[in-house]
Amino acid sequence: MDMRRIGRTDLVVSKICLGTMTWGQQNTEAEGHAQMDYAFERGVNFLDTAELYPIPPKAETQGRTERYIGNWMKARGNRDKVVLASKVVGRTTNDWFRGGRPSKLVREDILHAVEGSLRKLQTDYIDLYQIHFPERKVPWGSNPNRVGNWPAQRDTDETPIAETIAVFEELVKAGKIRHLGLSNESSWGVMRFIFESEKSNGPRPASLQNAYNLVNRTFEVNLAEVSDREEVSLLAYSPLAQGYLTGKYDHGARPQGSRSQLFNRGQRYETPNAAEVQLEYNELARSFGMEPALFANAFVCSRPFVTSNIIGATSIAQLDMALSSASVTWTTEMQEAVDAIHQRTGNPCP
């Protein structure tokens, strides 16, 4: 397993990061532990979670995923071998995160979040603490293929980024987190966080966790340059486009027990023309003699601006295929075939 450095930090992580958002809903604690055991045996050292997990978010399940990870690290006695990433929610009206009130990226709420995560994870520190999504009003993911009516009306009580940076500086000095990461952010957002951190000598964003896959390559346009020149590492999530690049949803199929069938939350990847484009990529994978899931993950792993590919699985068989993508030799022929489709279809999602 190749190892890569996150941004300007001393965190060195595996090319594959194990995503955890299904643990506590689609997966039991025992299954989550088995996935972590298997991934770490294969060379993974990087786990990504969030106070919000598991998905879909619910008051009765919130925090289970972090508890499962904390129990696993305690049982294995391996905290020093894990690069651990978690996240604090941005602005949300969901009131179960803060004991019955909405949440924002203000000091009281961030401190409440990090203390809860440390307790559930049974650790004294989090290596990479990420802002799950911006507090300001932006389209989901902050980097969509189209924005419609823009700019959005701003909230009158929007928390200044400088204020949020100051809270993260406090947490770094207290030793509760090591580094700041962003997620679902735009080019402007990343640069503004960098500006405010350098202005105040606060923690500089080390990473950006955004969606990146065959049907959503919007990161390449502006954010890739920001990532390269500012040394902010891309931690790519949703490499399989919520399962639509596995082939299991081809021709309108909805297998029993699949995420789309269980939760009906695939709207980002059910946009006009998306099904036709997804099918084309899945058939391209098969033409190279590869399972679509293996092909789609290998594409993400092959990109020079991806530091770590955040994979997800609900079974060991799925996990094995995702891990195997790290050793696929991505050829010029594969890239040219992918680019030919992309040139015609663009980014149909989200």
pLDDT of residue 144: 80
pLDDT of residue 153: 80
pLDDT of residue 149: 65
Q: Which residues of 153-187 are buried (b: 16+ CB within 10 A; e: fewer)?
A: eeeeeebebeebbbbbbbbbeeebbbbbbbbbbbb
Nearest to 203 by CA among 159, 230, 164, 233: 164
pLDDT of residue 254: 82
Helix (H) / strand (E) containing 128: strand 126-131
Instruction: Tell me which residues of the chain have a pLDDT lower than 70.
Output: 149-150
Q: Which domains does the chain have, with CATH numbers?
A: 3-243+300-330 (3.20.20.100)
List 182's β-bridge partners, or say none. 131, 208
pLDDT of residue 332: 98
Going by the DSSP 8-state scheme, the letter that residue 159 receives in this structure is: P
Catalytic positions: 53
> What's the whole-model pTM score?
0.95
pLDDT of residue 143: 81
pLDDT of residue 270: 84
